[in-house]
Amino acid sequence: MQCLVSEDKFDLINVERSLTIEKCVLAPLLINQKANETELIKSIFLIVKRFNDLVNVSKKLNEDQMIALSSDLFERFAGESLEDIMLFFKMARSGEFGDLYRLDSIVILSWVNKYLDKKTDAFHENRINEENQRIRTENDAVKNHQYSEKSKEKLEELSKLLKTTTISRNTGVIRKDNPLFDYDSYLLALPEAAKKMDDERLQTMIDNTSQYSHPEVLKILQAENQIRLNDKNKRRTRKRNKDEN
């Protein structure tokens, strides 16, 4: 983050003001930048020092404590981003984790899980809002669409024929050769459908999808599976951090 390297205070304020949890979700994770670990810890130190300078309490951190805390925060936020740490201290400065009476590593590290819980809640709320918006848009489109009599007849005919489904309920095998199956439409709808599958159903689909005949389908299913694995890893990390505290 250039404003930290240059220590431009006004640029730093502008960056901080624009930060949201949604933006932090898209930022690069610290764990993926291990090669720059020393530089990142220096950047975290500058964030900690700024917070230490801005907060008006009698007991503050000395330089050695700030350096040690910066290293601890790098480890605790390994699955998050540098932007997360900046937003974390902005929220702390605003009193979102409670009133401030003193500054030490124990107090500050105790706020980490509170921040991660807020981030998780905001992330899931955002996904729910996106899903609700998608459903509303689709419902409005269906409600406002005018079908011709000929289209209605075709839909009724298609509804009867679809009893011979193109996807086996037991195996999840897709048959592209079925004349009733629009493969492109299936690919467009698959990401949302995959989100609603339980883990067992998703794994069955992955196991029964061929890399050679349906690479696009397999890629979508594996992407959803990876998202779930990442969520589980983050939850385990937060639980471990809580247990350590």
Q: Which residues make beta-bridge pairs with 81?
A: 29
Identify the band that residue 20 occupies on the pLDDT scale cut at 50, 70 and 90: confident
In a domain, 43, yes or no: yes
pLDDT one-digit tens code per residue, 183-241: 677 778 888 888 888 888 888 888 878 777 778 888 998 999 999 998 888 888 888 87
- Do residues 7 and 117 both lie within one domain? yes
3-state SS, residue 211: coil
The total of other beta-carbon atoms located within 10 Å of residue 2's CB is 9
* Structural domain containing residue 194: 183-241
User: Both 13 and 120 in a single domain?
Assistant: yes
Instruction: Give residue-wise pLDDT tens across range 165-181.
Output: 444 444 444 444 444 45
What pLDDT score does 163 carry? Answer: 46
197 part of a folded domain: yes
Domain identity same for 94 and 188:
no
Q: What is the pLDDT of residues 103-142, one digit of tens each?
A: 999 999 999 999 999 888 887 777 777 777 777 777 766 6
Domain count, the chain: 2
Summarize the confidence of residues 148-163 as an average pLDDT.
61
Judged on CB neighbours under 10 Å (0-12, 13-18, 19+), 236 is: exposed
Give the tokens for residue 224. Answer: 């959803």
